[in-house]
Structure 1
């Protein structure tokens, strides 16, 4: 009985894992423009739907989609560390300084007004919806897939290269910073501890980081020129991104949902 129970349990676990992998592959393998239409629908729905409740609910929906796509940890870290602080700062700023008549709380020259709370909720909910949608898009979409799809739409390779370089500059600088910090540690330089210790360790990193960025830019230019990047004519690429059979279904579903949302908003 125990062996039979273990066998049945293993089969169930295998089916569950297989189902999760299929959903993950379904989301990840969608065409970049289809993924952008999904997040665009979520962002626009926050502006079409009245109130702020649905706008705030866009973030949990994006978290759920990130979980299905297998990038929940990265998405939640970005949403909490970056988005939460910005939204909290804007909310407090509008709550204290937005003009209004109905005062809810006051201390000296500072006062929280009902109008400020309502405006802060409306403003921050839209920011949460748009920002979480964009974060989800760049978490579930590879940069090289996005660039390839943009080139197929007719954009110039120079424009797509600038776009790609802009998206990669911060991750590349972070990698270079970690490499330089590790090199400093091997030389006995203290890089961890109190705030002043970290500041003192960060200052010597600036010069090699800037010089390394300049050198890498020059190497990249030489590499592009060796591959005839600036030459006229059609460009070819070894990496291709193609639409799947599910892209059309997802786009039709998004169109139907958008039409229903517009009709509901007009009638209500």
Structure 2
């Protein structure tokens, strides 16, 4: 049963809220109803399925590392920056969240592809990025980083500044204050943001397909395998979709639990 806080709400809100929940829940239930449960282990353990799952987990892990290493400093700077340039930087930082996936992939391709703005110079040095496993990691990082930055910047803006001021008063350097005060306070937001970023990278399809292609064992991730097998092997596609759904559910459940713990 869903518990409601002590603060009362108009009763009429429960009707549109229930409709909104049904809009999301019914397709998921429909998918679960069509999953070939008896053949599920057989379908999931096929070599092609395992290769796609393994590649997705490996590339998402690398992209998450990049998201944290790059997104954390970006969120810290944006949370303290002010003025029109800071606002412009915020817009650019979250742009991949609303950018159509195929447009994101095309942008990466014309920038880092063999004939791209930067890719042509990298290619001359013997480094081809497009249609490689590295391209998958870059594509996932591109689309997932805004989710981490938004989650972390929101937490930073609600952080009580008194702790950092006390540390500074006691002679702590900015770096030491960041490591010993700010980051520990951001622990729940870091975990929640990382979980959302990993889930977004795991479900990425359009950008990586456009930028990296779909070569089995090299660039074919789980979403691409689902898309390519849905016509030839519907049961196999449903089995892989179930695996992806469960992984995303666990990750988003973790993010939600950490958020509740933070505010609880």
Normalized against structure 2, the TM-score is what?
Answer: 0.24
Which protein, 1 or 2, shows the higher relative CO under an 8 Å CA cutoff with sep ≥ 6?
2
Larger radius of gyration: 1
Normalized against structure 1, the TM-score is what?
Answer: 0.24
